[in-house]
Amino acid sequence: MLTLITGANGFIATHCIATLLRAGHSIRGTVRSAEKATATLSALNAAGVPHLETSLDLVVVPDPTDLAQFLPAAAGCDAILHLASAFTYDAEPGQFEERLLRPAIQGTRVACEAAKQCGSVKKLVIMSSFAAVYDAALGLQPGKVYTEEDWSPLGYAEGRDTDNVAVAYRASKVLAERTAWTYIKENDVDFQLVTLCPGMVFGKMIHPISSLKYLNASNGIVWEVAKGGNEIPPTKAPVWVDVQDLAETCLRALTVDLPSHQRFLVTEGPYDTQEIADVVREDIPAASKRVAVGSPGARIRDMHYSCDSGKVKRMLGLRFRDLRESIVPLVEQLYAMEEGERKDGLSAAVL
């Protein structure tokens, strides 16, 4: 089975590549430059991912929102796993349309169009987000249980005109996902659509990352706690899933026979920053010296909404690992990166 993975150099995408290659699949991955292709290959190699030479082909698609550039990459593929989208809070008001909304929406439309035009594509799996599900404006909503039936009400103008980048990101995800569902309603397609809506994704990284400065947004939440300080930062989006479990979810979404198009909520459960602090202080000696103590054992889960991920577990036969298993290896990796950067800084100062 040949799968096209868009945004192949990203945090989640590289885990999807590793999982699919281990399962014996062939992959074509899109990246936006030749440098990113080289860096991705070398990062996957360093992570011990098998079959890179025989089963992974990285192709440069400078603008994956351009159908003419995307189509040749999709040609002959059995499936598309679409991940490329800007998950960043590094954009200013006035830039949201260009930096977040347009790439997400247009990128999804092009993935749908390419899947239709190719003919060979039987599954299109799109990485949406819990951001496309919940209504942040309603606050914490204790007792509310989100399911696949829920949709964020954010519209285009709200995403474009807000002065809050998190609102713009959430709008980009819901509008992109709606684009896909509208596309299959309005077009006669031969492929099945699966959208995945994960909470915050944590876990050890195998993608190319040259410095902690470039940490992806979700692992940045863990780092904000683990790097230490006088206080534990507030919890922003309190549901999560591990990156390897999400990659396994992608593999099953691509391969399991499903009765129809599907939308899946993908979360292990709630987390909060106090829990991150507790776990890393318990398991990592270096963390116990620098991470704020806060109120050990205190949890905010009864104070906010929760999610029901029963559907994805049932239909795709999954179980998800717990927070400790996910973030301890990540924080060990982050401390090692920090130490490497400190040593590099020292040797640069000596030179």
In 3D, which of 145, 175, 67 has the Cα closest to residue 113?
67
Residue 273 touches ligand NDP, criterion: CB under 6 A = no
158 neighbors 167 (Cβ within 8 angstroms): yes
Residues 79-108 within binding reach of ligand NDP (CB under 6 A): 83-87, 103, 107
Residue 330 touches ligand NDP, criterion: CB under 6 A = no
Q: b/e per residue, 314-336, with b = 16+ CB within 10 A?
A: ebbebebeebeebbbebbbbbbe
At 111, the amino acid letter reads A
Q: Report the residue number, 201 or 291, with the smaller CB distance to ligand NDP.
A: 201
* Contacting residue, 29, 52, 56, 64, with ligand NDP by CB under 6 A: 64
The CB-based long-range contact list for 30-33 (8 Å cut-off, 24+ gap) reads 30/4, 30/5, 30/6, 30/58, 30/59, 30/60, 30/61, 30/64, 30/70, 30/73, 30/84, 31/7, 31/58, 31/59, 31/60, 31/61, 32/60, 32/61, 32/62, 32/63, 32/64, 33/60, 33/62
Number of residues that bind ligand NDP (CB under 6 A): 24
* Contacting residue, 216, 301, 311, 318, with ligand NDP by CB under 6 A: 216
Q: Report the residue number, 135 or 292, with the smaller CB distance to ligand NDP.
A: 135
* Contacting residue, 152, 179, 192, 218, with ligand NDP by CB under 6 A: 218
Residue 127 touches ligand NDP, criterion: CB under 6 A = yes
Q: Report the residue number, 76 or 214, with the smaller CB distance to ligand NDP.
A: 214
Q: Which of the ranges 4-12, 45-53, 257-265, 268-276 carries the binding residues for ligand NDP, by CB under 6 A?
A: 4-12
- Output the CA angle 290-291-293, nearest 5 degrees: 120
- C-beta of 206: minimal distance to ligand NDP in Å? 11
Residue 129 touches ligand NDP, criterion: CB under 6 A = yes
For ligand NDP, the binding residues (CB under 6 A) are: 7, 9-13, 32, 36, 64, 83-87, 103, 107, 127, 129, 173, 198, 200-201, 216, 218
